[in-house]
């Protein structure tokens, strides 16, 4: 029996397939859209048994082609561009497609683990999985929110496990294809290598320069949570996936720069030293993000812990340091 991973050439999906391979799983059906051909770089070192174009999957499952072949579906595929303005496309891709896939899994009693997003919380200050805290700021967040709502309605009469994972700010290897939507750690790394400095936003929403805070979570931890739910099919629900600790963009910048400096045999510098030396620069807050920007996120992990997940999460200093080390190994290989 195969595992089906959608978004398998993407950031989280490809890291998930890699981790499945490390556990000995080779019977994996990878689903993605390779209209962006550079994403194939995320597949070349992975072991899969088949590749299915995202546009062909629903007609093929409707035709019964995969009946009896699938053990579980890990649905990571989505349009994750928070600046996308085509609401029709976003809803078709993220909501309608997910609905069809979930109902197919339910009809065949297959576990369904899917990617949701912390964007469902919008500008709120409480990040726990209940309706009163959910107010997305854009159509991407709304597409994720609406599907979570459909899942909640389905859960009482479910025929198989359904687990929705609300990812906070994920960073790590295999995200280069995301371009401007890649993590700040990715961009800080490139900026520092290119110009010897990184650029952060000036203050906004009452926060000082670079002091906006997010729950930055390593893709290593995101993958571990996915595997936990795959291994514990008795658990269903919608769960936050974050460290439970908000850290500032300044902290990410310091972690990125100091990891690079360490690799060069240079000493670590404090935030004040990085500012005074010009290694950290602050730029005007973009007007197009006013009212659409989360200046604070911090996952409430109570539900995840109650579900039985016990592993610790990497903080920014350790997680970004590992990410920088891996990027450098890949670039020098």
3-state helix/strand/coil string of the chain: CEEEEECCCCHHHHHHHHHHHHCCCCCEEEEECCCCHHHHHHCCCCCCCEEEEHHHHHHHHHCCCCCCCEEEEEECCCCCCCCCCCHHHHHHHHHHHHHHHHHHHHHCCCCEEEEEEHHHHCCCCCCCCCHHHCCCCCHHHHHHHHHHHHHHHHHHHCCCCEEEEEECEEECCCCHHHHHHCCHHHHHHHHHHHHCCEEEECCECCECCCCCEECEEEHHHHHHHHHHHHHCCCCCEEEEECCCCCEEHHHHHHHHHHHHHHHCCCCCCCHHHHHHCCCEEEECCCHHHCCCCCCECCCCCHHHHHCCCCCCCCCHHHHHHHHHHHHHHHHHC
| Token code pair at residue 214 | 């997010």
Q: Which of 179, 184, 321, 298 is nearest to 250 (CA)?
A: 184
Nearest-angstrom CA–CA distance, 142 and 62:
27
- CB of 282 within 8 A of CB of 199? yes
178 in catalytic set: yes
- Give me the catalytic one of 18, 178, 199, 292: 178
- Select which of 97, 114, 121, 140 is catalytic: 140
117, β-bridge pairs: 167
Neighbours of 270 (CB within 10 A): 10
pLDDT for 333: 67
The two tokens of residue 29 are 């059906």
CA 261/CA 87 separation, integer angstroms: 43
Query: What pLDDT is recorded for position 97?
Result: 97
Per-residue pLDDT of the chain (333 residues; tens, 9 = 90+): 999 999 999 999 999 999 999 999 999 999 999 998 999 999 999 999 999 999 999 999 999 999 999 999 999 999 777 777 789 989 999 999 999 999 999 999 999 999 999 999 998 999 999 999 999 989 999 999 999 999 999 999 999 999 999 999 999 999 999 998 999 999 999 999 999 999 999 988 889 999 999 999 999 999 999 999 999 999 999 999 999 999 999 999 999 999 999 999 999 999 999 999 999 999 999 888 877 788 899 999 999 999 999 999 999 999 999 999 999 988 876
Q: What pLDDT is recorded for position 136?
A: 94
Supply the pLDDT for residue 291: 74
Query: 166 with 129: CB under 8 angstroms?
Result: yes
pLDDT at residue 262, rounded to an integer: 96
């Amino acid at each position: 029996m195969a595992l089906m991973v959608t978004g398998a050439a993407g950031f989280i999906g490809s890291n998930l397939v890699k981790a499945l391979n490390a556990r000995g799983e080779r019977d994996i059906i990878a689903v993605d859209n390779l209209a962006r051909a550079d994403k194939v770089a995320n597949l070349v070192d992975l072991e899969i048994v088949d590749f299915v174009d995202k546009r062909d999957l629903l007609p093929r499952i409707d035709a019964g082609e995969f009946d009896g072949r699938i053990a579980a579906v890990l649905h990571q595929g989505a349009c994750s561009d928070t600046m996308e303005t085509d609401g029709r496309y976003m809803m078709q891709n993220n909501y309608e497609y997910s609905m069809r896939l979930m109902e197919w899994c339910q009809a065949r009693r297959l576990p369904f683990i899917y990617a949701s997003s912390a964007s469902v919380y919008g500008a709120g200050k409480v990040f726990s999985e209940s309706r009163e805290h959910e107010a997305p700021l854009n159509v991407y967040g709304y597409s994720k929110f609406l599907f979570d709502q459909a899942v909640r309605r389905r859960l009482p009469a479910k025929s198989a496990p359904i687990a929705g994972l609300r990812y906070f700010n994920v960073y790590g290897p295999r995200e280069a294809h995301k371009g401007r939507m890649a993590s700040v750690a990715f961009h800080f790394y490139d900026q520092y290598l290119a110009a010897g400095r990184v650029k952060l936003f000036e203050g906004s929403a009452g926060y000082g320069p670079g002091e906006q805070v997010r729950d930055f979570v390593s893709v290593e931890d995101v993958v571990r949570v996915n595997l936990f739910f795959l291994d514990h099919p008795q658990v269903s629900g919608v769960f936050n996936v974050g460290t439970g600790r908000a850290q500032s963009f300044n902290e990410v910048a310091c972690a990125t720069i100091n990891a690079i400096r360490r690799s060069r045999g240079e000493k670590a510098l404090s935030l004040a030293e990085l500012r005074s030396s010009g290694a950290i620069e602050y730029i005007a807050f973009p007007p197009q993000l006013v009212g659409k920007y989360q200046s604070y996120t911090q996952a409430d992990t109570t539900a995840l812990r109650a579900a039985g997940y016990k592993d610790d999460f990497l903080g920014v200093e350790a997680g970004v340091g590992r990410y920088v080390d891996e990027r450098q190994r890949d670039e020098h290989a």
